[in-house]
Amino acid sequence: MTTDFLVQARGIGVRFEGRQILSHVDLDLLQGQLVTLIGPNGAGKTTLVRIVLGLLTPHEGHLHRAPDLRIGYMPQKLFVEPTMPLTVERFLQLPGPTDLKTESLLEEVKIGHLLKQQVSRLSGGEMQRVLLARALSRKPQLLVLDEPAQGVDVNGQVEFYELINTIRAEHNCGVLMVSHDLHLVMAGTDEVICLNQHICCHGKPEHVSTDPAYLALFGRREAETLAVYTHHHNHSHDMKGAIIGDSCCDLHADKGPHKHG
């Protein structure tokens, strides 16, 4: 084990009301490393994230966290009651430190002009940036992003991924990114983990830029920030997530629910 590990999980299992949500999940998050967690809806991604964040204690397995780990968490979405008058500036100051440089923080995520804006009036993309700024306000060693690209178009997604890359380089923080997109992940992802109640597979994504079909489809800019994770499973899942069949070397992965392009 190196000294720069942030979170190390071994054999994590979670049950809710008799239903197994996660089983035998191992996860390593290292400083400066970008890990993307993918999986279909109901795969237990959010549950695993809650465990990493310390909001949920797993029923099985162990979780080790680096001492005094500072986590910046960007939730999927945030709904602020319109009855609450709250400016972006005040929102960023909520966690505590009063000497917070809110302006430079917003500049970093390129929304300096929103400082005095009411939070309940932000657009989806603006809210995303504000949430990222809040996560960064704690100078995190680990940044956890829960489906940050949700509800944002491809252009917005690309810009956001560029921003994450810049931030990761500047802060040298680990990033755990959750995505429900099974095939498009951020370029520069060190490890993709495909989760469906257990870890189906994991590995490095291939760069899209090498794939001419993809280039033709999305153009160069997208290709530089997105990557395709090509994966073949040796098993399929039925609607309840149970594993169908048990052939450990099924070469016809395309028959399963995961289609690969």
Partner 1 sequence: MADFVVYALIAGISIALVAGPLGCFVVWRRMSYFGDTLAHSSLLGVALAILLNTQLQIAIIGSCLSFAALLLLLERKQALATDTLLGIIAHSTLAFGILVLSVSDRVQVNLNAFLFGDLLTITLTDLIWIVSCCLGSGVVLIFFWKKFLAITVHRELAMIEGLAADRLYALLVFLIAILIAVAMKIVGVLLITSLLIIPAAAARRLSSTPEQMAIGAAVAGSLAVIGGLALSYVWDTPAGPSIVATAFVLFIVVYLKPEAGKR
Residue whose CB is less far from partner 1, 1 or 79:
79
**65 in Cβ contact with 29 (< 8 Å):** no
**60 in Cβ contact with 10 (< 8 Å):** no
Which among 85-93, 122-130, 170-178, 248-256 is the span making contact with partner 1, rule CB under 8 A?
85-93
Q: What is the distance between the alpha carbons of residues 78 and 88, in angstroms, rounded to a whole number?
A: 13
Strand partners, 37: 178, 193
Residue whose CB is less far from partner 1, 137 or 157:
137
Q: Does 124 bind partner 1 (CB under 8 A)?
A: no
Which among 1-9, 86-94, 241-249, 251-259 is the span making contact with partner 1, rule CB under 8 A?
86-94
**227 in Cβ contact with 208 (< 8 Å):** yes
Q: Does 80 bind partner 1 (CB under 8 A)?
A: yes
Give the x/- contact pattern for partner 1 in 26-55, rule: CB under 8 A. ---------------------------xxx
Residue whose CB is less far from partner 1, 95 or 203:
95
Question: Kindly report the CA angle at 257 between 255 and 261, in degrees rounded to 5?
Answer: 75
Q: What is the distance between the alpha carbons of residues 155 and 39, in angstroms, rounded to a whole number?
A: 22
Axis crossing angle, helix 124-136 with helix 154-171, rounded to the nearest 10: 10
Of 45, 129, 134, 183, the residue at the interface with partner 1 (CB under 8 A) is 134
**195 in Cβ contact with 21 (< 8 Å):** no
Pick out residues in 137-196 that bind partner 1 (CB under 8 A). 138
Token couple for 211: 């794939």
Q: Does 243 bind partner 1 (CB under 8 A)?
A: no
Strand 142-146 to 174-179 pairing: parallel
Residues 6+ apart with CB under 8 A from 212: none
Q: Does 219 bind partner 1 (CB under 8 A)?
A: no
Residue whose CB is less far from partner 1, 24 or 90:
90
Of 20, 118, 150, 234, the residue at the interface with partner 1 (CB under 8 A) is 118
Residue whose CB is less far from partner 1, 8 or 93:
93
| Residues found near partner 1 in the complex (CB under 8 A) | 53-55, 71, 73, 75, 78, 80-81, 83-87, 90-91, 94-96, 118, 134, 138
